[in-house]
Amino acid sequence: MKKALVTGASGFLGSEIVKELLERGYQVRAGCYSNSPKFSGSNRPEVIRLDLGERESVMNAVKGADVVFHCGALVDSGMSRAALNRINVEGSKMLWECMAEQGVSKGLYCSSAAVYGLLCAGREIISETTGARAIEPYGRSKLEGEKAVMKISEEAGIETVSIRPVAIFGPGEHTPFGRALREAAVSKILIAGGFRNKSFSFVQVKDVAKASVFLTEIDGLPGGEVFNVCAESPVKFEDAFEAYIRVLNRGGKDFVKVKMLALISKIIQKIPESVLAGAGKIPGKYLFGIWHPGFDLVYSSEKIRSLGFRFGYNDFEEVFMTCLEKV
């Protein structure tokens, strides 16, 4: 039975990878910094405290592991660069150093599409050959962490692959943007004129978990490879907004207020953008601007699909519907 360590196992993606590994018969060690995740069923992981800033803690966590899935990270760009680098760069580097000392043979580093840069020039589809040029603190820290683990992997002979997921949706989604969107959905009118005639890539969290395990189970896959992880086709904002409203209608009576706000928002989307520009003068407690720099980029997942991986969620409405599920 293969033994796997998952860092950040109490997090949004880490907990899904733990579930996927358990379903595949792995013996799983779930490394958590603070919150202890709750896993249902008779087959549960070994839960341990893991501090990516303490070498002894990291060494203890990797001991005996055949493969490590590294999801532990700080994700809020509002944090200081020093704090982000301490965990996302130095913590990742320490983890791979300990893996090398303990003879771990495989690793997966969860990077981010943010490494390409939120202001990636042009409207071209972004593939793994697109130059990484992160410009904000979080993206930079993930890129530097990726470079560090790849360097150690090459020197130590650890077969390491890196995934770069796009915007991830699913039950319990908790990125800073996701939290803000959920909070806004129940209390504010949504403004998104900047999204017109644009598309964005998305992915469901279960697909990211399955892709992670899939990549580590491929025999002969060379280390150092990076893979975008996103649904096969992007969605136009207008279509995503219509799907959002249909999901609320399917959600039942608990979403009456949200439906009303969504319908008001739908009407507002028809207002010319020149008029919408004045919305910035309205207090933020009433409005929420969906468009954020970089959220209108389109990515390619052709590389991982060429290896035989198939995404289970390609319809945005079904993906968004899963966000209503209770965790």
pLDDT digits over 96-105, tens only?
999 999 999 9
- Say if residue 77 is in the same domain as residue 213: yes
| Residue ranges making up the domain that contains 264 | 176-196+236-289
Specify the higher pLDDT residue, 82 or 320. Answer: 82
Q: Is residue 322 part of a domain?
A: no
Number of domains in the chain: 2
**Alpha carbons 245 and 225: distance in angstroms, whole number:** 39
Let me know whether 15 and 145 are in one domain: yes
Residue at 155 is within a domain: yes
- Which amino acid belongs to residue 225? E
The token pair that represents 134 in the structure block: 């992160």
* Residue 137 belongs to some domain of the structure: yes
Confidence (pLDDT) at 95: 98
Same-domain pairing of 227 and 190: no
Q: Which residue has the higher pLDDT, 179 or 219?
A: 219
Both 40 and 153 in one domain: the answer is yes
Instruction: Examine residue 70 and state whether it is found in any structural domain, yes or no.
Output: yes
84 in a domain, yes or no? yes
Instruction: Output the pLDDT for position 238.
Output: 74
Co-location of 18 and 142 in the same domain: yes
Place of tokens 């409207």: 123
CATH code, domain with 46: 3.40.50.720
Residue range 75-87: mean pLDDT, rounded: 87
User: Which DSSP symbol is given to 236?
Assistant: E
d(CA 260, CA 298): 30
Look at residue 286 and tell me whether its pLDDT is greater than 50.
no
Put residue 244 in one of left, alpha, beta given phi > 0 → left and psi -120 to 50 → alpha: alpha
Least confidently predicted of 135-144, 145-154, 224-233, 263-272: 263-272
Has residue 39 been placed in a domain?
yes
What is the chain's percent helix, strand, coil content, to nearest 5?
45, 15, 40
Statement to judge: residues 116 and 141 lie in one domain: yes
Calpha distance 162→115 (Å, rounded): 12
Whether residues 94 and 36 share a domain: the answer is: yes
119 lies in some domain: yes
131 and 265 both lie in a single domain: no
In a domain, 145, yes or no: yes
Q: Model confidence at 210, in pLDDT bands (50, 70, 90)?
A: very high
Are 236 and 278 spatial neighbours (Cβ–Cβ below 8 Å)? no
* For residues 56-82, average pLDDT: 92
What pLDDT score does 167 carry?
A: 86
